[in-house]
């Protein structure tokens, strides 16, 4: 099942609104977030932190690591609500 959403992220004093979707599986879920035309997959690791996985091999290198961390922080804050 998929749910589409817009994710507000503040990055370098700029307010971004990123398109995303939540994909749920039996007992798991992943966030797919479009960042600069690249889709990053955010999933929880064993310590319940979010890690980003890129579908395209060079996508993570072309996206600023700080932006990826900001997205992870926003997703983590949503989980705590």
- Bridge partners of 6? 19
Cα–Cα distance for residue pair 44/18, rounded to 1 Å: 19
The model's pLDDT over 1-29, given as tens digits with 9 standing for 90+, comes to 789 999 999 999 999 999 999 999 888 89
The model's pLDDT over 46-62, given as tens digits with 9 standing for 90+, comes to 998 999 998 877 765 68
Can you list the alpha helix ranges (DSSP code H) found in the chain? 59-62, 65-79
Report the pLDDT averaged over residues 29-44.
94
Of 28 and 74, the structure prediction assigns the larger pLDDT to 74
Both structure tokens of 34: 């479009």
Q: Residue ranges of the domains in the chain?
A: 2-58
Report the pLDDT averaged over residues 38-42.
94
How many alpha carbons lie under 13 Å from residue 80 in its C-beta half-sphere? 9
pTM, full prediction: 0.88
């Amino acid at each position: 099942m998929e749910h589409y959403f817009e994710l507000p992220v503040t990055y370098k004093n700029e307010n971004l609104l990123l398109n995303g979707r939540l994909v749920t599986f039996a007992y798991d879920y992943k966030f797919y977030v479009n960042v600069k035309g690249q889709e990053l997959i955010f999933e929880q690791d064993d310590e319940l932190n979010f890690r980003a996985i890129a579908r395209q091999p060079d996508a993570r290198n072309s996206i600023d690591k700080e932006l990826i961390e900001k997205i992870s922080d926003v997703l983590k804050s949503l989980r705590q609500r």
